[in-house]
Amino acid sequence: VPPEERRLRDRKHLDDITAARLPPLHHSPAKLLSIEESIAIQIQQKEAYEEMQAKLAAQKLAERLNIKMLRFEPEGEASMQYREVRDED
């Protein structure tokens, strides 16, 4: 029996006896990391998590206090409008 036919027959047999399937592999397989790499990744993830939590807390507090945050652009056009000197003569 050719290997391709055998594979199809085995798959059909598994389909007949069980509905359980392995989930599709969306990511690359697991790989080994050194302890140093693992710690560095964990620290990076912890910092990102804490930053996200701080942003969420600030957003909730602003909503609670009804504070509206506007963009501050010191080099922008809006901040320079009052400085324009106009000659009225």
For the stretch 65-77, pLDDT in tens is 876 667 766 666 6
CA–CA distance, 69 with 55 (Å, rounded to integer): 13
Residue 81 has pLDDT above 70, yes or no: no
pLDDT at position 19: 67
The full set of domain ranges for the chain reads 34-67
Confidence category of residue 26, pLDDT binned at 50, 70, 90: confident
Angle at 60 between CA 54 and CA 63, to 5 degrees: 140
Confidence category of residue 46, pLDDT binned at 50, 70, 90: very high
pLDDT at position 77: 61
pLDDT at position 54: 96
